[in-house]
Structure 1
């Protein structure tokens, strides 16, 4: 639930977008003219269940959590560390037991902050060393703060199952300081993906990466 104090904190940090007269044009994730995040309220729920138990009782399985990793560097409250972020991604891939090439799409944290987008893109490129398809759900719905990981994971799973991945809304001119990734634009992208990644990076240097695998009955 969004409150005035929540909004005031991010305003004080200078992290929020000031495009109040044209809210439909913000946030502008990865864009060189981005001016900050948009905080919103929302929630989501994911039910995790042991695979053997779910299969035995005939549950509808949407995806498998193939890999997970989290770490923290604690070096700065608001300035992210690309090296530590990259480590989280590497650990998640190792936990999943898949190769980097198996991952066909990344749902980014992508907040449209000046430092955050650059750091995240550099971390992703450091790990994958190629222009992997990537987009930020926050360009559509804003930043749900503590619930963003859950909602974005749900959407990432759904897109994997549908075979279509949403574009980055409001991305017009990619910031040249962002790494050369495949920033999805236009009408989105049809991708046949067996593995997808969803990342979230919080203030204080807390980094989390999830890898989902498509479920086949």
Structure 2
């Protein structure tokens, strides 16, 4: 009986000191930062035609004071701007928590194709009264922080907070892919599609 109890305590001890499991979802990383990238075909379109479509798509899709063009270089086929979307998650007691997610989108064009990059992803919890202490936890949080929480690299977060960080990363991933799909549809649309 003593051996069984000793083995039981040892197993519990090993579990307590074991490293945290890897999260079920890890966003794409580039040099330690979360960066999404997609290269797409735009058959039979010149660099200038693609750039024009990208610019029109941005102006149509990203209305609002927070969405600003950062850089335009038609001769190089380079465009970048700010974008944002909202995600939500279930909080404690069934509350819905809404986050505004801000990011930078960069598009480089060439004849017949383009590359879209979404980077500098950060989120802010909306509809929350923020004081000086909690501001660093709720405002302009980089997605890399959620990844660190999910991996257990940041102390003081329990299992449900880690899971919430994973769910935010998954929601952001879904919306980023929706942005890419929207851009693809716009760039490759025929005039009759509008």
Determine if the TM-score, normalized by the shorter chain, exceeds 0.5: no
TM band (smaller chain): under 0.3
Give TM-score scaled by structure 1 length.
0.20
- Which of the pair has more CA radius of gyration? 2
More helix by share: 2
Q: Which has the higher strand share?
A: 2
